[in-house]
Structure 1
Amino acid sequence: MTHQDLAQEFRDKEPGRYRGGVVVIFNNHVAGWMSELRDPQSWEPGCFAIDEEGNEWVAVGGNPYDGAKRWEPVSQK
C-alpha cells in the first residue's frame, strides 16, 4: 500500500473529521494528522506528510531524538 493509499484510508474512516491538513506516515503506518504542514522537529526523520490533493513531503535532517530539521517536497500534484 502506498503512502497515498494509507492517507486516504485514514481520511475515509472518519469522513469530514480530517479535512485539509496532512496525514503523517511513518514506517508504513499512520502516525497522525496536522491541520497544516509545520513543526518538523515534532516528527522523526523519514516521516511522510500527505495532503488531500496527494502532495507529499518527507521529514529530513535531524535525528530520532531531536526530530527532523525540515520538510522537503517529494511529489507535488
Structure 2
Amino acid sequence: MSAHLSTPSRAATATSVLFGVSVVFFLLAGLAIVLGQAAALALGDASAARQWASTLAPFAFGGASVAGLLSFALSYGKQDQHG
C-alpha cells in the first residue's frame, strides 16, 4: 500500500504564510512594547511608558487576533484532510 501524499491547496498555503507573518508581527510588536516601556522606565518617565504601551497595544493585539483566527482556520483544514 503506498501512502498518498497530497500537496496543500493554494488557500492552505496562503493561510499558513499569513499565519506565520501575523505571529512574527505580534511577537515583534510585543517586544517593542516591552523594550519601549523598559527604556521609558529607565529614564524615569512612567507616563511615557504607559503611553508607549497604549499606542502599540492595538497592533500587538490585532496581530495576535489574526494569528488566532488563522490558527483556527488551519486546524479545520487539518481535520478535513484526516477525517
Bin for the TM-score computed over the shorter chain: under 0.3
TM-score, scaled relative to structure 1: 0.25
TM-score, scaled relative to structure 2: 0.24
Structure ranking higher in strand proportion = 1
Bigger relative contact order, structure 1 or 2, given CA contacts below 8 A and separation 6+? 2
Structure showing greater Rg = 2
